[in-house]
Amino acid sequence: MTSFDPRWLLTVVLLAEVLGFAAFVWDKLLARGGYRRIPERQLLTFVLIGGIGAWIGAHLVRHKTRKEPFRTWMRVVLMLHIGLFLAAALVVILRL
């Protein structure tokens, strides 16, 4: 049996955060240009995939930060994301 190498997990998480960040920045650029936008449901999926990165992207470009109910849903999904991230961190730390 081989030992678990958490570096691949860290790489996947970092890529997901970048993807979440990019989704909000891209949607803001589409909105400014008057182009077809990313649906809110897909943006929430990006929050689930790359929660912290998506949150940073949304706040950095001030995109969807005051629109309800999206803002509330984003918080709920972000809390779920953080919970999953902490659980994964515990698995890596404890090597369960």
What does the pLDDT read at residue 6?
67
Q: Check if the beta carbon of residue 12 is closer than 8 Å to that of residue 92.
A: no
Residues 45-72 have a mean pLDDT of 83
- pTM for the model stands at 0.74
The reported pLDDT for the residue numbered 48 is 83
Q: What is the pLDDT of residues 13-34, one digit of tens each?
A: 789 889 989 998 999 999 999 9
